Amino acid sequence: MERLTNGSWESCSKDELLDGDVYRTPSGVNGWHQRIYKTPIVRPPSRLVSPTDIALAFPSDSVAELNDYAWNTEKTLSNRGLAQQILYALKGNRDLDVLSDKFNDMLNFMVAEIPSYTTEANDAFKLQIGI
Contacts of 11 (CB under 8 A, 6+ apart): 1, 2
pLDDT digits over 54-89, tens only? Answer: 878 888 788 888 889 889 889 889 888 888 888 888
pLDDT at 33 over 90: yes
Q: What are phi and psi of 92, to 5 degrees?
A: -70, 175
pLDDT digits over 93-129, tens only? Answer: 778 888 888 888 888 888 888 888 888 888 888 888 8
Q: What is the pLDDT of residue 87?
A: 85
Delimit the domains of the chain by residue range: 2-36, 48-129
- The model's pTM: 0.57
Q: Are 131 and 99 in contact (CB under 8 A)?
A: yes
* CA distances to 1, 21, 40 from 12, in Å: 6, 11, 18
